[in-house]
Structure 1
């Protein structure tokens, strides 16, 4: 199961780094997480627990089964509900709960984790920081008993779940909550949805006129795009030098692409 908050409120700690791009980036993370899970040989079904209609539609298009967050009582209640839904469709199956923000997820690494987990009644994988949890599994007919959120590594261990200490599964441990996490995930190599979305958020300053406070940037594909003074002022900048890496927010597509904010890149 993959739980997903409404996009409008998810990934709040990324707001400073990515601004108004946060909901779109949260969706891209979830798309790459679900796509990676569905491509894993050990995964028969991916259940996404969410009340977000856009996310539900996009993730269903990838092949996920969407379940409404009927309990509406937080992350762990949603996961327990998802586990029941998964087993209603596949009685007696093993289940695993996984974060929705694993954009670098690699199917072979997930396969290693799930194969290791399969020999234990309950098992979990700590996140890259060693504080939280990115995956919790339960064998057939064993209750999942999730306790995600904050220092969940300690809680899952105290609950009797076995911690898996595997090397070489960085993509399954690399969740993204901060700009530093995003930089690390991008360095690992993210899936196509996050790669495409993050590319739209980055550019290189090309020209800048301090009198008009306008100029242009080069997108990473080399396309020049102009920006006007309101976009510069929205980013809180005082000066811009050609060659600086910048984060941009845009509106429109193709020839109608318009920069609405430009600021220095923070990821």
Structure 2
């Protein structure tokens, strides 16, 4: 079996995951937990020969080293793509025939089997990428020994990688495609099953707030629009557990979620 070198870039925690403000755990702790769960899953993937976290952040490097994974500095350049170019060059300097895979660090629900499936498909193309769940970003970029990695991560990276000649891999691989930038993303990851570092933070028992988008007074179910624009559904059981008699469209509510990310209750923010 081909052994891939998996590169996981992790930027400084102070600047990480700004769109996750309001989650129960501080976003710095969330970002580190995401990275550790991503690294753990990658290390357990049967197709991964080496897993290397690319970061200049001392806290990240210390936490990763404690798990036994490798670390490397980002080198010059100051952004994620420069860090990946530096790391891939360092790997290829020691092993010119290395199979390279760049994996984003915000995959707290990643399952080794999903990553292995994508890497198996990637063997058919000199360069390949897996888009994120919305289809606009990239969660995995690969390069065979005769190809350069040529990373183009950032807004619209799926289109950028496609335009650069990388083949788009279309497998389902739900846990691989579920990166986390927003509370709604985190809820989706929770439904898939969080890794132990993220789960230990208790993030899926957090309270989220939003406004009522729909309410059916016959079924006592509907949807709430979160502050990031995402709709979450609540069922009859969730409404009945809330001791509310009705909801009005546009009304502000607090959502209580279970371990799998589903809505378990609603309340008025002042309650």
Q: Which residue of 1 aligns with 2:133?
A: 128
Contact 2:24-2:206 within 8 A present in 1 as well? no
Contact 1:47-1:86 within 8 A present in 2 as well? no
Q: Which residue of 2 aligns with 1:223?
A: none
Q: How many residue pairs get matched?
A: 210
Question: Residue 14 in 1 paired to residue 20 in 2?
Answer: yes
Q: Which residue of 2 aligns with 1:141?
A: 146
Q: Which residue of 2 aligns with 1:182?
A: 186
Deviation at 1:119, TM superposition (A): 1.4
User: Structure 2 stretches of 5 or more lacking a match?
Assistant: 1-6, 208-252, 258-267
Pairing partner for 2:67 from 51, 62, 71: 62
Deviation at 1:198, TM superposition (A): 2.8
Paired with 1:66 and 1:114, the residues of 2 have a C-alpha distance of 21
Cα distance change on mapping 1:185 and 1:141 into 2, 3 Å:
same
Q: Which residue of 2 aligns with 1:87?
A: 92
Q: Deviations over 1:5-27 (max 9, x none)?
A: 11111111112x32761100100
Q: If the length of structure 1 is used for normalisation, what is the TM-score?
A: 0.73
* Structure 1 segment 1-267 matched on structure 2, within 5 A: 1-15=7-21, 17-18=22-23, 21-167=26-172, 169-199=173-203, 202=206, 245=256
Contact 2:101-2:142 within 8 A present in 1 as well? yes
Q: If the length of structure 2 is used for normalisation, what is the TM-score?
A: 0.72
| Runs of 4+ with >6 A deviation | none
Contact 2:106-2:180 within 8 A present in 1 as well? yes
Contact 2:128-2:141 within 8 A present in 1 as well? yes
CA RMSD of aligned residues (A): 2.4
Deviation at 1:116, TM superposition (A): 0.3
Paired with 2:144 and 2:133, the residues of 1 have a C-alpha distance of 24
Paired with 1:201 and 1:183, the residues of 2 have a C-alpha distance of 10
Paired with 1:4 and 1:36, the residues of 2 have a C-alpha distance of 15
Contact 2:135-2:158 within 8 A present in 1 as well? yes
Deviation at 1:45, TM superposition (A): 0.7
Q: Which residue of 2 aligns with 1:228?
A: none
